[in-house]
Amino acid sequence: MSDQKSTSGYSALIADQLAQTRDFLSNQIQCSDAKLCEFMDYIRNRQGKMLRSSVLLLSGKIFCQINPLHITVAAVVEMIHAATLLHDDVIDNSLFRRHQPTANSLWGQNLAVLLGDFLLSRAFSITTSLERNDINKILAETAEIVCLGEMLESACRGDFKISVDDYLNIIEKKTAVFFANSALLGGIISNADEKSCKALYDFGLNLGMAFQIADDLSDVFGAEVNTGKTAGRDFENKIPTLPILKSIDFTKSKIAEYREKALSSLNIFAAEPAANALKDLTISIV
């Protein structure tokens, strides 16, 4: 899913590290074949708000200064996310994302799928050099769970009688676990203790749940000029999202519930600036 709202406030604490992450990502998709450079430039110029990498970096910064491993893994996280967006746009036949034409609208579905596959392959090629099986395992499991979530969603298309629990299971897999593991990775790289890592995972999971429900709500009722992507695609594609299954008030109550759970998970970090920045991030996007 896309990153829609203004997110400039929380990022001040990690502005330099986000720039380093962008640079690292760009350097990892250099192209020697002129025929392919246009596609690589497309990725470089559409890195978005980098919410998942921001969650990772801020989570790590709670415990120590950001180091090169944080930057590398944050870039890998963004590459995996970018690949999922390319594939999402093909599945949904979306024409726009972040106010820009999608890869499939520019070059067709085959190229868009291959570009997503390339990013995934490149991301996991980078992880082989880390010599950190714990990190590699989390990244691999994240990609696997996201795929399972997307498969579940596709299997439920047109079924507007699925339960709320079924819907929540889908979005936990396709979106929330990615946020949860991004936060967890930040803590692990910073050698955080088990209790802190669990708090970070819980934070990311609840943030991701709130974020996806809010995104589904904006798809139904938000203006395309504000969301940066084609409006109404979920209903058109027969995707049973919460705003379609239930009332607007119920949907908003679930967003608030998960948002408060996310914020509460950070209470163990007291007044730590990076934890406060994570709270700012949460409030700014949901």
What letter does residue 11 receive in the DSSP assignment? G
Please write down the HEC assignment for all residues of 87-139.
HHHHHHCCCEECCEECHHHHHCHHHHHHHHHHHHHHHHHHHCCCCCHHHHHHH
Q: What is the pLDDT of residues 83-100, one digit of tens each?
A: 999 999 999 898 988 789
- What is residue 224's predicted lDDT score, i.e. its pLDDT? 44
**Between these two residues, 46 and 238, which has the higher pLDDT value?**
46
- What is residue 6's predicted lDDT score, i.e. its pLDDT? 44
CA distance 187 to 180: 11
Full-model pTM: 0.91
Give residues with Cβ within 8 angstroms of 134, minimum separation 6.
188
Domains delineated in the chain: 13-285 (1.10.600.10)
The fraction of the chain above a pLDDT of 90, given in percent, is 73
Average pLDDT, the chain: 90
Model confidence at 249: pLDDT above 90: no
CA distance 249 to 243: 9
Give me the torsion for CA of 204, 209, 211, 215, rounded to 10°: 160
Segment 204-229 shows an average pLDDT of 78
At 77, the pLDDT band (50, 70, 90 cuts) reads very high
